[in-house]
């Protein structure tokens, strides 16, 4: 039978005491290094991908004309339009901006949608009538309004668009070669400031589609000749006269 183990020397006791501590320290350092390395990778990935998402969201915009065209493809409703709706105010800002800067294409969203006009009219060739007559006259009238502002047109600022809602009326189906009814109001006023002076001109006719006003005639309904027209340009806000035109 073996006797008791010989006593450890001083050096042996030191080895037994400190080697496990050193190994444990190495393990802790390795674990921390791995954890920090993984965390650093995750942060870098998040920082790289986030700007791409924000850029995509910011740059994906829908033009006003697209929204207007979509609304025109939907059926008419009897909703009463407002001269203070967000859509109408935005479209009037686009219209006046087009006049001030001579860019009629940017006023497309203020004009009655073609798809709605095709539903509205009971005539043949409604699409051609829209493009060749209504839209062509609108472009001519916008150009005439730009010329009416003069050389300092780009410094003009929109003050308001006054819609005389007291004169708004319902045009029922069957009138004016229409198969669908709508609200109509004549002689609204575009009020603007130029060189410190308040001025204005008229909108010959607004008609409604699904509870929103759109321009259908800007300078004139019954045109006295060819070319563009500006309706009743005035110094000051001007006044709106009642009308029962189609």
What pLDDT sits at residue 142? 98
- The contacts of residue 72 (CB under 8 Å, 6+ apart) are 112, 113, 114, 115, 116, 117, 119, 209
Distance CA 234, CA 218 (A): 15
Distance CA 43, CA 163 (A): 56
Nearest CA-CA partner of 156 in 101, 199, 194: 194
What pLDDT sits at residue 81? 97
- How far, in whole angstroms, is CA 34 from its chain's centroid? 50
What pLDDT sits at residue 194? 98
Q: What are phi and psi of 175, to 5 degrees?
A: -90, 145
What pLDDT sits at residue 147? 97
Which tokens belong to 195? Answer: 């060189």
- pLDDT tens per residue, the chain (246 residues)? 444 444 444 444 433 444 343 334 433 333 333 333 444 333 333 333 223 322 222 222 333 333 466 878 899 999 999 999 999 999 999 999 999 999 999 999 999 999 999 999 988 899 999 999 999 999 999 999 999 999 999 999 999 999 999 999 999 999 888 999 999 999 999 999 999 999 999 999 999 999 999 999 999 999 989 999 999 999 999 999 888 766
CB 196 within 8 A of CB 131: no
What pLDDT sits at residue 70? 80
What pLDDT sits at residue 87? 97
- The contacts of residue 131 (CB under 8 Å, 6+ apart) are 114
Helices (H) and strands (E) in the chain, counts: 6, 6
CB 213 within 8 A of CB 83: yes
Q: Determine the length of the chain.
A: 246
Helix (H) or strand (E) holding 191: strand 182-194
SS3 28: helix
Q: How many CB atoms lie under 10 A from the CB of residue 140? A: 18
Query: Where do runs of H (alpha helix) occur along 60-109?
Result: 64-73, 86-101
Distance CA 61, CA 39 (A): 36
SS3 73: helix
CB 107 within 8 A of CB 92: no
């Amino acid at each position: 039978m073996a006797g008791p183990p010989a006593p450890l020397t001083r050096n042996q006791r030191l080895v037994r005491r400190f080697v496990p501590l050193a190994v444990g320290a190495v393990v802790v350092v390795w674990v921390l290094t791995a954890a920090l390395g993984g965390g650093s990778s995750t942060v870098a990935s998040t920082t790289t991908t986030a700007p791409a998402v924000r850029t995509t969201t910011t740059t994906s915009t829908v033009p006003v004309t697209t929204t207007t065209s979509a609304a025109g493809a939907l059926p008419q409703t009897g909703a009463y339009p407002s001269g203070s709706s967000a859509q109408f105010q935005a479209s009037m800002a686009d219209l006046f901006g087009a006049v001030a800067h001579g860019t009629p294409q940017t006023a497309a969203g203020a004009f009655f949608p073609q798809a709605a006009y095709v539903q509205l009219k009971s005539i043949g060739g409604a699409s051609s009538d829209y493009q060749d007559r209504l839209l062509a006259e609108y472009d001519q009238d916008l150009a005439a309004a730009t010329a009416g502002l003069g050389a300092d047109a780009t410094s003009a600022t929109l003050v308001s668009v006054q819609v005389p809602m007291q004169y708004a009326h319902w045009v029922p189906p069957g009138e004016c070669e229409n198969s669908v009814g709508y609200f109509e109001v004549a002689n609204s006023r575009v009020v603007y400031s130029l060189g410190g002076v308040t001025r204005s001109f008229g909108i010959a006719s607004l008609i409604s589609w699904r509870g929103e006003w759109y321009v259908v005639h800007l300078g004139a309904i019954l045109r006295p000749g060819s070319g563009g027209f500006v309706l009743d340009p005035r110094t000051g806000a001007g006044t709106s006269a009642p009308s029962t035109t189609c």
